[in-house]
Each structure stands twice: as C-alpha cells, then as structure tokens.
Amino acid sequence: MAPRRHATPAGEADLGLLRVLRDDGSSDRSLDPHLPPERCVELHRRMLFLREFDRKMLGLQRQGRIAFYGASLGQEAAVVGSAACALPGDWVFPALREGGAALLRGMPLRTYIGQLYGNSADESLGHQQPMHFSWRAGNHVSLSSPIGTQIPQAVGAAMAARLRGDRTVVLAYMGDGATSEGDFHVGMNFAGVFRPPVVLLCQNNGWAISVPVSAQTASETIAVKARAYGMPGIRVDGNDVLAVFAAVSAAVERARSGGGPTFLELLTYRRLGHSSSDDPSRYREEGEVKEWERKDPVDRFRKYLLRRRLWSARQEEKALAEIGAEIQAAVREAEAAPEPPLESLVRHVYAEVPAPLEAQLDEVRPAFRAGGKAEGAFPL
C-alpha cells in the first residue's frame, strides 16, 4: 500500500494547530502577538529578502556559477519568524534551510555568498559543502549533512549554558525526516531529563527528500512526541509568521527563565525540490503543490499588513528593487574574491602540518600555478 501523502491544510484545526493569521489576512486578536508596526514591516521585508535571495541563488546554480543550493521557498515564515525570537548571544544549530537565520542575525551577504562559491570570501575557505554556513560572530553553527546530528549537539551546548549559569538559549532546527533518526530521540530524552535552555524546532515540510512524512511516523502529529520526553509539544502553522513568532518567543522566554525545553512542530511545505539537484515531480503530485501555494506565507502576511495599512504595493515595489540591488552588489563582490590559497587545504586544518601532507602540497603546487583545477560534477 502506498504511503499517505503530506497532510493538506484542510482539517488541521482538530489536531491542535496554533494559527493567528487567516487566509484573507485577518487575525485572531486573542492570539495575535500585537507586534509594533515597525517589527511587522521588518518581518515582511526579511521574508521578501529570503525569497528574492533564493531566486537569485538558484539562478546562479542553474548558470553553473555555484554548485549547490537548497531553497526555502514556502518556508520563509518558519525560518524568519523563529530566528527573530533569538537574542544576539543565543546559538543556532540549523538544518538545511535556515541560512536565512544567519542573514537575519547579521551575517554579511558577501560572506554568505562566498560560502556558496567556496572562495576566499568564505570564512571556511571552501572546507565545507555549499549551503553549510557557519558564522562564529553570530553563534550560527554549520549544519552537518548527516541527518539529525545537530540535535544532541545543540542540547549539549544548551547544557553548557546551564552549567555556566548564563541566560543563553539554543535554537535547534531539524526537518521531519530527522525525527526518524536516533540522534533525535537521544537529544529529546536528554533535554527532557536535564531541562537545558533549548528550543527544538521541527520544520515539517512534508518530505524528507522523496519520503513523505506519513512514511516517517505513525504518530498523528510530530509535536505529540514531546509528551513522551517530558516537555511541551506545540504544533504551529509554519506558514503564519505571527503564530511562529508567538510560539517560539514564548518557548525562548521559557527556556531563558529556567523553565526547560520546548519542542515545536512548524507545519509548512517545501515548494521546490529538496535541493537544486532534486526533481520533486518524480515523487509528488502537482495538485499538492498548488494547494500549498494558496497558503503562501509571504502573501498571507502581506494581506495582514495591507489590512492594517502598514504596507502598500508601492512600498513592496521599492523594497524589492532595493533588495535586488543589494543582492546583485554582494554577488559581484563575492565573485571578485580570489580562490583560497592552496596552503589552506592543510594549514587551516592542522595546527602543525604533518610532513607527508607538506610533501603532497609541494607536488600539486606547479599544477595550480599553471591554472589547473579539480574536475568532476558536484555529487549531490
């Protein structure tokens, strides 16, 4: 029997889904966090930026200028609404689609784009796969390609914060597929027992590459799993930036005040492929995608702002022009950066480079001086 597909938006209310914004942009005033107008506008601009940035980076990948990209189209509210709740001193342990969190926390665009190119603008000098951003100044840890490994790491970092007695909170992101990994259960159990200041965020976007969420778990929801580990589990409309902000900010405050961990399932949808190397038409139906397009997080929040007279079509046009110009300038700057020095292959890995590696480096120097480059297609 074929597995059931990802749950559609209809009928979710009976599963305890937290939602502030209705499809027409009106809000449930009893749940609305009533953010200041300038904060609302900032959230919208951040989501616009992330969407336009994804569009530009996918274009670069299709042109062969970068090797790999994982877009967050359709998930902007889950990324922006949650990351906006953290303070500068907090830590972020991301999965694949939280690069927007690094940008929101102040990561320079040149550095971000340089990581996709793997050149000298990249702080890791090409040592990490594209999309594996790390930014020490913003406490943004690089994701790991093995699924779920960041969960116990994040819980451990939160435990360290608790032992130090500071007020740091850790955000631990994961996808729905990560909840099938042992690291998820280890991290959840440790967090439940020792109650460190961690907020565990599952972006349930329906698909773990080509595996639907219905083939990942027999539970009615993912959020309900939190009960077994002794912590609150909250299911949130991940396409509603106000619901995400309200739920995550409450969880962050709870963690910061010593109340322990919270697990949140952000129900959203991955509108494009898992990555630039994936063709989702091979495993999911177009009608499902169309249904979720009608729940677009950016469109819904725009309607809310228009209702409150906080935004206009002219402001949006101006914002998109400014965003486009900023991205274009950063791309030009990042592309102009030279390749990392050949010595960085080993000298940024070892404190004292072993003699055999120095000898190998000497062997390849002439080829690189002559302009030689490694060949072969990107594996993912």
| 207 and 345 co-located in one domain | no
What is the SS3 assignment for 68-95? CCCCCCCCHHHHHHHHCCCCCCCEEECC
User: pTM of the full predicted structure?
Assistant: 0.91
Q: How confident is the model at residue 380 (pLDDT cuts 50, 70, 90)?
A: low
Task: Give the pLDDT band of residue 374 (cuts 50, 70, 90).
Answer: low
Q: Point out the catalytic residue in the list 270, 300, 302, 304.
A: 270
Q: Is residue 112 part of a domain?
A: yes
270 noted as active-site residue: yes
What average pLDDT score do residues 235-243 get?
98
Query: 264 and 361 share a domain?
Result: no
Residues 272 and 305 in one domain: yes
361 falls within a domain:
yes
Q: Is the pLDDT of residue 287 over 80?
A: yes
- On whether both 332 and 253 belong to a single domain, the answer is yes
Same structural domain, 267 and 369: no
Residues 361 and 289 in one domain: no
In the chain, the number of structural domains is 2
Q: What tokens appear for 202 in the block?
A: 């599952």
Would you say residue 182 lies in a domain?
yes
For 188-198, the pLDDT digits (tens) are 999 999 999 99
The DSSP-derived string for 228-256 is HTTS-EEEEETT-HHHHHHHHHHHHHHHH
| Same domain flag for 185 and 246 | yes
Predicted pLDDT of residue 367:
79
Same domain for 139 and 206, yes or no, is yes
Does residue 144 lie within any of the structural domains? yes
Per-residue confidence at 56, pLDDT binned at 50, 70, 90? very high
Helices (H), ranges, the chain: 37-62, 76-83, 99-104, 109-117, 150-164, 182-194, 225-228, 241-256, 286-293, 297-307, 313-336, 344-347, 355-369
Annotated catalytic, 283? yes
Name the catalytic one among 46, 274, 300, 302.
274
Query: Could you tell me if 238 and 9 are in contact, meaning their C-beta atoms sit under 8 angstroms apart?
Result: no
Q: Which of the residue ranges 11-15, 128-132, 273-277 would you say has the lowest mean pLDDT?
A: 11-15
Where is average pLDDT lowest: 93-97, 191-195, 279-283, 367-371?
367-371
User: What CATH number did the domain enclosing 330 receive?
Assistant: 3.40.50.970
User: What domain range includes position 345?
Assistant: 341-373
Q: 380 in a domain, yes or no?
A: no
Higher-pLDDT residue of 201, 364: 201
Q: Is residue 275 part of a domain?
A: yes
- Residues 265, 363 within the same domain: no
Say which residue, 92 or 1, is predicted with more confidence. 92
Task: Tell me the backbone φ, ψ of residue 72, rounded to 5 degrees.
Answer: -115, 25
101 and 74, same structural domain? Answer: yes
Distance (Å, whole) CA 105 – CA 103: 5
